[in-house]
Amino acid sequence: MSRLDIIPAPTRPHDAEQLLRINAPLVAEWLTEFLRDEMVRRRGFHRAVVGLSGGVDSSVTAFLCARALGAENVWGIRMPYRTSSPESLEHAQLVIDQLGIHSRTIDITPAVDGYLQYEPDADGRRRGNVMARMRMIVLFDLSAKLNALPVGTGNKTERLFGYFTWHADDSPPINPLGDLFKTQVWQLARYLGVPEVIVSKPASADLIVGQTDEDDLGISYHLADQILYFLLKGYRVDQIEEMGYAREKVLLVKNRLESTHWKRHLPTTAMLSSTSINDYYLRPVDY
């Protein structure tokens, strides 16, 4: 009798790289429609203000806003602090020039230092939070001046890591990138034509000189996104380890995720009645 060949299934049934791949043109079309619908139709705003850091998230957001609303309706706001990297400013300018959007540059140094002079011992984390909150003061004030809506730029990875300042970076009322992992934002950026120098540089919050996200987090975005993907799907640590990921990296991601749930919620309110808002009295944001 002749022997039959056995055809085995792929050895890596969970190819995270493949699973995190996006159809960038389709995502771009979807997010453009999202911005038009949520800004113009639901909220009646025809203009957007975007804080441009020179990084990939805010660049992609500006590109999407220009697509959705027209470059003439988008304001890119650069808000450097005295320790910010000059490169950040230049990269933000590349986006402004390429898109032909309006721009403003507001140096937040006097405002930030005006407060910090009373707290000279504030460490880097506190200083960073003050800068992030000051930038939101500027963004929201300019939005009132321009009758424009501030558009958020936070991606899913940093939201899951709690790697942002609460009620600062996360405060704009709408956010097109919040359900895209960082590595997916990079894919979208390349499709949209964001300058390569912005896409390929190491991501940085630029709150402390020389800082990079990946050093801060202790893991590369590439790896973090894959682990997050499986954790969110509901896989246990040992299952993810079995797929070939180092246990200490999986635990690092899991701990970060599980210690920051509070950052993804509104403030906790004491419930005293059966009409408590968002517990019993439930109405959606656009109702």
Partner 1 sequence: MKIRVVAVQFKPRKGDVEHNLDRVAEILRQIVQEDVPADVVVFPETITSGYFLEGGVREAARTHEQILHGLMQRYLPFARREPLDVVLGFYELWRGKYYNSAAYLTLHNQPEQCQVLHTHRKFFLPTYGVFQEKRFVARGRNISVFPTRFGRATVLICEDVWHSITATIAALKGAEIFYVIAASPGRGFHGETVGNVEKWKQLLCNMAEEHGVWVVNASMVGFEGGKGFVGHSMVVNPFGQVVIAAPLIKEAIISATVDMEEIAIARANAPYLADLESGLADLLIEMEEIAAEQHREDSA
* Total Cβ atoms within 10 A of residue 251: 14
- Nearest to 31, CA basis, from 136, 148, 183, 184: 184
- Is 282 a residue that touches partner 1 (CB under 8 A)? yes
Q: Which is nearer to partner 1, 115 or 281 (CB)?
A: 281
Spatial strand order of the sheet with 48-51 comes to 102-105, 74-78, 48-51, 149-150
Question: Does the footprint of partner 1 cover residue 265 (CB under 8 A)?
Answer: no
Q: Which stretch binds partner 1 (CB under 8 A): 17-25, 47-55, 78-86, 224-232?
A: 17-25
When asked if residue 6 is in the footprint of partner 1 (CB under 8 A), the reply is: no
CA distance 104 to 267: 32
Q: Which residues of 253-279 are buried (b: 16+ CB within 10 A; e: fewer)?
A: bbebbeebeebeeeeeeeeeeeeeeee
Shortest distance in whole angstroms from residue 37 CB to partner 1 = 4
Q: What are the residues facing 281 on neighbouring strands? A: 277
CB of 14 to partner 1, least distance (A): 14
Contact region with partner 1 (CB under 8 A), list: 9-17, 76-84, 255-263, 275-283: 275-283
Among residues 217, 85, 219, the alpha carbon closest in space to that of 163 is found at: 217
Taking CB under 8 A as the binding criterion, the range among 20-28, 156-164, 201-209, 247-255 that sits at the site for partner 1 is 20-28
Of 174, 231, 250, 252, the one binding partner 1 by CB under 8 A? 174
| Interface with partner 1: number of residues (CB under 8 A) | 22
Is residue 233 a contact point for partner 1 (CB under 8 A)? Answer: no
Under rule CB under 8 A, residue 3 binds partner 1: no
The alpha carbon dihedral of 259, 261, 263, 269 has a sign of negative
Q: Which residue has the tokens 């609303």?
A: 69
Least separation in angstroms between residue 34's CB and partner 1 is 5
- Distance of closest approach, residue 190 Cβ to partner 1, in angstroms: 15
Site for partner 1 in 24-83 (CB under 8 A): 26-27, 29-30, 33-34, 37-38, 41-42
Of 19, 83, 90, whose CA–CA distance to 54 is shortest? Answer: 90
Distance separating alpha carbons of residues 283 and 48, to the nearest angstrom: 26
Closest CB to partner 1 among 21 and 261? 21
Determine if 149 is a binding residue for partner 1 (CB under 8 A).
no
Sequence-distant (≥ 6) Cβ neighbours of residue 148 within 8 angstroms:
45, 47, 48, 49, 73, 75, 142
Interacting residues with partner 1 (CB under 8 A): 19, 21-23, 26-27, 29-30, 33-34, 37-38, 41-42, 174, 281-287
